[in-house]
Each structure stands twice: as C-alpha cells, then as structure tokens.
Structure 1
Amino acid sequence: MTGDSSTTTTPAETTAVTPAVSVRGVYKVFGPKPGEAVRRLEAGASRDEVKSLGTAAVIDATFDVAPGEIFVVMGLSGSGKSTLIRMLNGLWTPSAGDVLLGDANLATVDGKRLRELRRSRVSMVFQHFALLPHRTVLDNAAYPLEIQGVGKAERQEKAQQALDMVGLSGWQDSLPSQLSGGMRQRVGLARALAADTDVLLMDEAFSALDPLIRSEMQEQLLELQEKLGKTIIFITHDLNEAMHLGDRIAVMRDGRIVQIGTAEQILSDPANSYVEKFVADVDRSRVLTASSVMQRPRLTVPAGGGPRQAAREMREAEVSGAFAVDRRRVLKGLVRADDAVRATKEGVEKLEGLIDADVTSVHQDTPIAELFAPAAESAVPLAVVDDEGRLVGVVPRVTLLEAMAGEAVENGNVSTPEKTLQEAQLRPTDDEATGTTEGATA
C-alpha cells in the first residue's frame, strides 16, 4: 500500500484495441478564472488553494474504457463523479484536457457534431428517470429514435423490443404515472437501449430505488450486458454496487481519481488510507475470488504417464495424492499415492484406470463465499480451473479459514480459525486433521 497522497494511479490497460472512451488530463473548474486555476493545479496547488479562482470539480482525470467494459466511477457526494460523466456526453466542456469518444474529441467538436454524437454514439440513464409524463411508455422508449429521424413504425418496433428486454412487455400503452419507481427506471433503461448507441452512461441510475428493486435492476443490467456487450460507464456512491457491477472501478475523492482497478485489486491493495477506509466494511467473501486465495499445487502428475513415475514423485514430494493433468494442463482427476504404489507392484503401466475423475473443481472467478460448501464436501483441496478446464491452482481449507479470520480481524471482530471453522460448519476428516490429504496438492 502506498502513502496518503491523492495521486491518480495509472489505469490498467484492459485491451489492445482502440478504447471506446478515453479521458486524458481532464479538468473542470467552475468560477471566474478556470484557466488560471488549472495552471496552478498543474503546478501542484491543492483544491483549497485555488478556491478564489473557482471550484475545481474534476482534477487531472485520466483513464480509458475498453469496448464492452462496465467501468464504474465511485465516490462520495462532492467527489466530482457526476461532473465527470457530464463531460463524457458533452453536457459540460472540460476546462482542460481531452474526452475522446472513439476518434471524436468532445472537448473540441462544434455544436452540430456534438449533437450528432450524442444522438448516435452515447445515451444516458438518469437517477430520477427523466421520462416525459404525457407520453406513453412506448413513446418514451422511442423518443431518442424520434430525435434521430427514424420513422414511426420502425422506432416503435425497436422501442418495443427494448421494453421486452427489460421486462416491460404489456406496459407499452401505460403512462409513467401508472408505473412503480423500478418500472419507470426500466423505461429509462429501455430508452437508452432503443437508441442503440455504443456507449451507455448511467448516473446514479439505481440510487432512487428501494434495496430489493435496486438489486433486481443490477442483476438485469448484468444479464443485458452479457447479451449486448455495451460499453457502460456507471456512476455510484455505493461501494457494494460498484464492486458487484464493475469490471474496473475508479475511486474519486475531492475531484481526483485516487485509484483505478478491479474490485479485487482495490480490496487487496488500496492505494492509500482513504481507499482502505472506504472499503473496510465490504464483505470480502463476496468480492474476492478463488484466484485471489489459491495456491500453486505442490505436485501434478501427467495423466498419460505411469504409476511408477507418479508414485516416485509423490514420495519425493511427501504428499499422499496429486492432481492429474494432460499436456494442456486440463484437469483429469486425482491420483492417490497408495493406488499408484499398488498398481506398480501389480505391473500396471498406465495411470488411466487409477485417476479418480470425481474431484471437486471451481472456476477461478468463484467468490470465496461460494467455496465453503464444496470445500466441506471435499476430502482434498479444491482444484481451481480456468475457462478451458486447465488447473491453475488449489484452495486448501486452511486457506479459506485464514481468509475469513483475516477479514474478521480487519473488521474488529475477534475470531479464531476454530470459531470460523465451526461457523462455516466444516468438519475435517481424519486425513485432513493429520495434514496428509491437505498436503496432497496444497
């Protein structure tokens, strides 16, 4: 962890292709002398030191958003996040810096080009819905297409498709006043989807909803993103929402971006004490994944090899079993040392019949909270695999206990591994109690 300076971290590049949105050295100062304020900020002045020149709402923001990424900007009130998103759709012009939407710089384009970009390239979902009260749900969803000059029949067809996607089939003839808050926000989302823009901006889009509806909307957004692959920039002050939705998260404080990273990176390596305190109450078991706690297997054996070689390697490594993998490291199962020794004495030449394929594996992106149940049912460490089934690590039970015990200590709760073990209802087998099975692949 670094010190307490509010310095923007260099964003991790997520793709080699052209970013969908690129922000470079952007400042926004409201007041009589924004240019002078920017010059002093660039020279190292603080936000308070330029107050007489104007209010520095955004200071030196720099980041890229990859096509198809959900990029969350998170911060408390007054951090600058809403000002930032208004520069991303051209509502406000930066005092300095560049905002690139593809190859178009919103900071320098003329008014005609800006209006064209806002109609065709970027759409927005607002916190308080911003629906037209005298228009039906269908006409509200079709409104951006009407502005684009799309014919009535075509725009209504596209709007209906968007309403169907967000679960509002049958409500197209209703007025906004006849809908609940969650349904009205769905209309706002359908309107943005009907516009069929590449970039979707969402400014505190779910903040006005009650917790249950908010959770449903978050899940629906993720489901839609899985199908549509939009580039989404999502503004929120809710840390759990940011952690749940974001592929990457930018944390803002006093106009500056103080850290950019994945949820795991921000939880595991906060940039400064502000971020550390900000994430202190997050349920790490719901955010950290198997990949963040897994260990390298002490030993793997080739599935195409023989029992003599496997028995020798397990004896030298002092383990009672090992995972078997093929040449691509795809997990095939578990070989136990006793079985390999017995097969060697019997003259068996191949491991094929000795591999126990009934072993529990989990994907590397599985949250820690979802590892306890399979760990309780497995006599060996959990095998961690990637999208192609390749073995990338193992998670022994003791690692889960240490992770949970560490979180309890961080949160100020006195918790021992024994207490955590009892609460998780994990009961070690006799082999695990002696460490032999856990040592097999840990």
Structure 2
Amino acid sequence: MAEAAKEAETLIRIEGLYKLFGNNPQKHMPLVHQGKSKDEILAATGHTLGLKDINMTINKGEIFVIMGLSGSGKSTLIRHFNRLIDPTEGVIEVEGTDVMQLGEKSLQNFRRHKMSMVFQRFGLLPHKTVVDNVAYGLSIQGVSKSEGLDKAKEWLETVGLAGYEDQYPAQLSGGQQQRVGLARALCTDAEILLMDEAFSALDPLIRSEMQDQLIELQEKLHKTIIFITHDLDEALRIGDRIAILKDGEMVQQGEPEDILLNPATDYVEAFVRDVNRARALTVETVMKDPAYRITADTIEEALKQMKGFKEDYGYYINDEGYQGVVTEEALQEAYDEDNNAEMTAECCEDLDPISPDAVLETVIPDTLESEYSLPVVDDDGQMTGRLSRSTLAEVLGNEEKPDAEEQQKAS
C-alpha cells in the first residue's frame, strides 16, 4: 500500500501509435484515419493494420500487462518499445527520450542497457552452458568474463538454479530453461523487462510457479515490466495495470479490478465472464467505507454517536485501533448502570477483523456466518473498510443472495 500511495512516475509514453504493414504504408494511412476497418484496408490496399492510435503511459516500477487474443497486435506493440519494429506514425518516449530519434549506435546502447527481453521459447544458446547463457548479455555490454560469470551465478541463485551453472539448456526442464532466460534478462541490470508470452509455453503448474517467482522478484527489484499474455487469469494475477487490445486497437486500460468489475465493451465482458472473481479480487477492491465507527471516550458519547447510525451496532476504535463490535443494546445497558462510565473494550463483542489484502475466497465463510459486516483492518490496526454479505453477493453474482432482512442487517 505504501508503494501504491506514492505518486506514479511515468517511465514510458506511447502516443498516437500506428503500424500499417505493407510496401507503402504512408500512402494508405489516410484510409486508416478515415476509420476504415482492418479488413477493408487489407482488401483495398493489401496492407495489414497492426496497430491503431495506441495511447498509454507506463509507470516506473509497475508490471504493465498487454493482453489480447492472437492477432490483436500485442506482440507487435511490445516490439515497438525497443524499436525492433518502427511505427508508421506515433511517439515512443522512454524517460523523456524520443526513441524514434536515436541513431544506430544510440539505439544499440539503448537496447543493451535500458531494456531486456524474455522470450516465449526461452531463446537460449544450446551450445553454451547455463552460466554462460546468463552472462551473455553482459559480454555484449563489454563486461569482463570473470565479472560476468560472478554476476550470472548470483542471478542463478536468485531464481533458484544454484548448482546448475555447468549444465546445458537441453538438460533442463522447460520451467528451468525459462528461469535461465529470466536470470539472463535480469543480469544486465536493465531497468525495463519486456516479456512476450514468457510463460505460455510452460505446463500450468510450472507456469503458476513462474508467476509466483516473478511477483516475488518484483517485490525486491521494482523493475518496470511490460508483460504480454493472451491469458486473462495471468494478467489479473501479476498485473498492476492491464491494457486489452482487439484488432490492433486498445479497448480498455485500467487496474485489474476495474476491468473485472467494469468491462468497457462486450469484447472485454466476454473475456472476464468466466474469471473466478473470488480468487481474483481482494477485500480492498470491493469493501465499503469504514462507517459506524465509535470513537467516544464515554458511554454517553458513544450512545450519541450510535443514534446517528443506520444500524444498531458500531466498531469501537481507540488510540490503539480497532477493538471490537459494540451494539446499541450493550451501550444502553452500560449507561443505565453508570451514566458517567468510560467507553472501554469491555463493552465490545469479539469480531475478528479481516485484512484488506485477503483474497475474497478466503473470507467468504466468515462473512456469511457473521451477524455484522466484517471490519477490514490494516497492519497498523486501523479500520479501513467493512465487508458485508450483500456486498459479496453483488460482487460475486451469487444467485443465492441473502434475504432482504439479512442484507439490511449486514450492509
């Protein structure tokens, strides 16, 4: 949360990016600007529209996922970042530098030092050992062999392949080969990682492990990662933000929960329809504001606060944070016994809080069993929200919604 709270720093800016493949793209760009479809342009000119008016900013230190089906333009787009493909029109800026203005030598240095790429099919050199594969990028940068090998060994250890230095790629499993590819990309200290369908050739279990490792590494390294995938579950799992492409156009861009809960088009809605929301969303993404807070020092003041609530219960918060749930009935009884009594946690019922980072799937039983909305409490003991049965039913599309009386009590 501390990282998210910082103001985002733009690292990459893409503006008005078009790519028309063919012998004379400039001649036929007017048809693109007239709004002709991909099929119409192909039929009339023999040119293929790869990208149309792509605009995006990518922030320093985030995992930005670009996703879409085959032919959507996602792999074409990622190859524009390091100018493996030049655009027909548009701006590509990295840290304020116009990449289109780089000369041959400057572009070469840019590719060697600024960006590294992890390929779908690993891209390892079969005749070189694992450690030599990892050190390969450093040798191109001019780093000495001994220094390169030392650094390569460190990265192999980081990705869990210590002891495999002298093996050859053919001796490794697919998952191990991809770890070598990841270590090689990280070894160059490039600030930006381009990952094009990096895990899609792996078996599902190994793919899941690689996703976990990428998330774990990113928590330490804070690289800027541009990740291409056709798999929405993968995008939701690893992406800080997601851009969805269709036929070369961006149809939606946003944080994973925005896309999941508010699909912008029928195309995106079809993508998200089969996603298990309980596994994809966290409590923080769906919780309501932290209402019904009792912060009074005396029972009398607490009762006055309670009278202003829609509900007959509240959450007692003192200097040490959340203490428990208290009902109007309990407060009234305490007041009747002593109308000068102080408000303390002894008036409260125990109600275990839930973490804002908890995946919804893990809190469903407690939410359904609780008489009250569950308090959402952060690591510092502060109440940041509340989660009710009715909210769960709404978000998860549960057909067996609580009856009206239960919903009213829990909301």
| TM-score, length basis structure 1 | 0.85
CA distance in 1, matches of 2:343, 2:394: 35
2:130 matches 1:108: no
CA distance in 1, matches of 2:28, 2:353: 56
Task: Flag structure 2 segments of 5+ consecutive residues without an equivalent.
Answer: none
Deviations 1:121-173 (A, max 9, x none): 10000000000111110010011111111111211111111111111010011
2:79 matches 1:95: no
Task: Flag structure 1 segments of 5+ consecutive residues without an equivalent.
Answer: 1-12, 408-414, 422-432
CA distance in 2, matches of 1:349, 1:270: 52
| Deviation of 1:297 (Å) | 5.0
Question: Which of 379, 386, 400 is 1:416 aligned to?
Answer: 400
Which residue does the alignment assign to 1:159?
152
| Deviation of 1:58 (Å) | 1.1
| Deviation of 1:312 (Å) | 3.6
Which residue does the alignment assign to 1:216?
209
| Deviation of 1:364 (Å) | 2.8
2:300 matches 1:308: yes
| Deviation of 1:120 (Å) | 0.6
Tell me the secondary structure at the aligned position of residue 35 of structure 2: coil
Q: 1:24 to 1:316 in 2, by over 3 A?
A: closer
Deviations 1:65-121 (A, max 9, x none): 101100000000000000111111221111111111212222221111011011111
Which residue does the alignment assign to 2:316?
324
Which residue does the alignment assign to 2:199?
206
Q: Which moved more, 1:218-227 or 1:15-24?
A: 15-24
Q: Which moved more, 1:338-347 or 1:194-203?
A: 338-347
Tell me the secondary structure at the aligned position of residue 136 of structure 2: helix
Deviations 1:214-236 (A, max 9, x none): 00000010000011111000000
Tell me the secondary structure at the aligned position of residue 93 of structure 2: strand
CA distance in 1, matches of 2:310, 2:89: 63
Question: Which of 344, 352, 360 is 1:360 aligned to?
Answer: 352
2:343 matches 1:351: yes
2:78 matches 1:85: yes
2:141 matches 1:141: no
Deviations 1:276-302 (A, max 9, x none): 112111111122332343234552211
2:113 matches 1:129: no
Which residue does the alignment assign to 1:76?
69
Paired letter, 1:134: H
Tell me the secondary structure at the aligned position of residue 308 of structure 1: helix
CA distance in 2, matches of 1:435, 1:315: 21
Contact 1:18 1:102 in 2 (8 A): no
CA distance in 2, matches of 1:355, 1:175: 67
Q: What does 1:363-402 correspond to in 2, within 5 Å?
A: 363-375=355-367, 378-386=370-378, 388-402=380-394
Contact 2:326 2:349 in 1 (8 A): no
Contact 1:33 1:53 in 2 (8 A): no
CA distance in 1, matches of 2:5, 2:312: 41
| Alignment length (residue pairs) | 405
2:19 matches 1:28: yes
2:327 matches 1:336: yes
Contact 1:74 1:249 in 2 (8 A): yes
Q: What does 1:2-41 correspond to in 2, within 5 Å?
A: 16=7, 18-41=9-32
CA distance in 2, matches of 1:315, 1:98: 58
2:178 matches 1:185: yes
| TM-score, length basis structure 2 | 0.91
CA distance in 2, matches of 1:388, 1:147: 48
CA distance in 2, matches of 1:242, 1:279: 11
Contact 1:22 1:65 in 2 (8 A): yes
Paired letter, 1:20: L
CA distance in 2, matches of 1:357, 1:336: 8
Contact 2:316 2:348 in 1 (8 A): no
The CA RMSD measured in Å over matched residues stands at: 2.5
Q: 1:327 to 1:29 in 2, by over 3 A?
A: farther
Which residue does the alignment assign to 1:174?
167
Deviations 1:372-399 (A, max 9, x none): 1332564432112356443232112233
2:187 matches 1:194: yes
CA distance in 1, matches of 2:310, 2:247: 55
CA distance in 1, matches of 2:52, 2:5: 23
